[in-house]
Every structure is written in structure tokens, then in C-alpha cells.
Amino acid sequence: MTDFPHNWPTAYPKLSVSAQFRTQQDDFFVSEITNRQLHASGPHLYLHIEKRGVNTHWLARQLANHAKIDLKDVGYAGLKDRHAVTRQWFSLPLKNNEPDLTHLFAKDEFTLLSKGYYGVKLKRGALGGNAFRIVLRNVQGDQAKINQRLELIRNQGVPNYFGEQRFGHDFENIQQAQQLFESGKRPRNRQKASMYTSAARSYLFNNMLAKRIELKQWDIPMEGEVFGFAGSLRGFKQENNEDERNRLRAQRIHPSCALWGKGDALSEGALAQLEQTQAHAYPLLSQGLEKQGLKQERRATRMLLPDLFWQWQDDSTLVLRFNLASGYFATSVLRELGEINVLERDQQEASRD
């Protein structure tokens, strides 16, 4: 197996700070944000569920079993961790009568918060974002410096890395992607195939972003820049006009890096060279993504947190609250604070979710 280095740099100088994360289940709370207006009737039943101690795939299977439908017909917008309290939307197609889910919601780990109806199935990525509440315990470090760092993050954002949970325990998803590309065969489980290719794409992106951080150009444009929007996979070439500069200063647009695939990456000059160098460093991954038919897309290099708030419950307990766009990772925020330790069992379960 090829080694996959992942000691990616932080944007800001290291703080002498340590803390523990997710030592208790309630320390990690995530709630999906949706702008979808539900109706009193429709062909798809939407369920807003709070869950504890189970991952998204497991709950989807339970819903399918109780509703007597195929698992592939259960819709959800994203994956949520097992070791957390999460509020998430699911959709079920209605054929004749609405399914009786009373027995499922009699269990302590599930609570039905609300329900409604909509015209189409809930698809992956179809959400406005996620609201997070994170509790850090046993915080060691200068409280004033931590507050200053959080102010800096709120004003300037953090690098928009994919979180390590994307890559699986011991980077197993990348290794599986490598095997997939070497064999040229797609596994029977399409969800796993998608997970492996996403991991490969995310790894190349993180390497590109890391190089921009080393060059101190992760949040400012470089030659041949392609700008993008938060949460968008599209980009547009740098025009170097006043309107563009004003939008950049107002943080309405962001520099970007390639999500590798076939076709034109849009970038030119120094940025194109940087992206190609990082992609070609792992030819099996980059060529495999192209052969799988994935098209070139873009991802912003900067993640903004203008609504970041925090509170010290006591001298060693820090509570963070913030919202992130779909596909953005809370761990990318935490890594800019210091050494945030998570129990190994949590990391293993997160890689399976």
C-alpha cells in the first residue's frame, strides 16, 4: 500500500493548548438546517428525528424495515456520527398508507421531532447546512490566547479541509480507493464505491490546500485563481477588476482548489501548476477519478464562521456554537485551536458512519 501523509499544516501558529472532545455523548450536538417548506400532504413523508448512539446508515435500515420498503428508497441529506446527539431529516415514499413507526420511536435512542410531506425524495447534500454545539473538556492553555484565536477564526475563517473522518480509520477509505482504481471494478455496494472515490478526491484537495497554506495563499488569490462560493462546487476565473476585489474583501467569494476529475480545472498559471503537481503525485488516485467519470469541480479554500460564539462554563470547559455549510467539517475548526484529543473508539465509529 502507498503511504498517505496527512500532517497538513494549520493556517495559524500553533497554540500550547490541549483539550478533550466527545468524552460524553452530549458533548457533540449537530442539527441539520433546511430551508425546505413541507406540506400537509405529498408523495414523500419527511421525518425530523433526534438520535443518540446510532449512525445514519443503521437508522435508515430501521426505517426501511419498519416501513417495509427498500433501503435505497430511504432518503437523507448527509451522514451523522454515532457518538453524538444529532437531529436529521429522513424521507420515505408513500405508496398506500403511511407506515406505522410507533414501535421504532418507542425506543429511547430515537425521538420524532416533527413530520411533513414533500414532492420528491430527500437527496444527499440537499440541506442548508449544519448547526453545531461542541463541548471541549479538560482544556489546558492560556484562556486569553484561546479567546484571541477564536476571535481570529470568527473574523478570518479557517482552511476548508475535509475532516479525517472522510478518510476512514487508518486511512482505510483511501486504501480501498486505490484497490478500486487498480482493479478497475466497481464494488457491488455503490455507497461504498462512492465513499472511496470521495475519499480519494478529498485527499488530493487537502494536499492542494496544504500547499497553498505553506505559500500563505490559502485565503488570498494567487496567479490563475478560480473563485468560488461557500458550499458550491462551481467556480469562475479571476478577472482582476474592482467589483471582484470588493466581493473578495467582503468575503462573498473565496479562492478555491480543484476537486479532481476529468475536464478543464479552470485554473491557470501558478495555481494550475500547484494543482497538477499535487494530483500527479498520486497518479493512481487522480487517473482513477478521471476513469470513474468524475468531472472537475471546485471547493472554496476558506471556511467562514461569522456566527461563531463561545462560552467558558468553567476554567476548563469551553462550549462552541457555529453553523457550517453542507460538506464542511467541524474538525477543521478545532484543529486551529490546538491538540484536541478524541477517544480512539470514536474515531473508529466515525469512519463507519
Return the active site residues: 81
Residue with cell 462512492: 194
Tell me if 235 sits within 8 A of 300, measured CB to CB. no
Distance separating alpha carbons of residues 202 and 194, to the nearest angstrom: 12
CA atoms within a 13 Å half-sphere pointing along the CA-CB vector of 170: 6
Judged by DSSP in three states, 211 sits in: helix
Distance separating alpha carbons of residues 168 and 77, to the nearest angstrom: 20
Question: Which residues neighbour 5 within 8 Å (Cβ) at sequence distance 6 or greater?
Answer: none
What's 41's DSSP letter?
A: S
- Residues linked to residue 134 through DSSP beta bridges, in sequence order: 28, 320
DSSP 67-103: HT--GGG-EESS---SSSEEEEEEEEE-SSS----TT
- H/E run at residue 314: strand 309-314
Distance separating alpha carbons of residues 273 and 279, to the nearest angstrom: 10
Judged by DSSP in three states, 292 sits in: coil
Grid cell in block for residue 326: 453542507
Tell me if 159 sits within 8 A of 209, measured CB to CB. yes
Task: Write the burial class of residue 229 (CB in 10 Å: 0-12 exposed, 13-18 middle, 19+ buried).
Answer: middle
Please state the length of the chain: 353
Question: Which residues neighbour 324 within 8 Å (Cβ) at sequence distance 6 or greater?
Answer: 129, 130, 132, 303, 305, 330
Neighbours of 14 (CB within 10 A): 11
Question: Which residues neighbour 344 within 8 Å (Cβ) at sequence distance 6 or greater?
Answer: none
- Amino acid (1-letter code) at residue 72: K
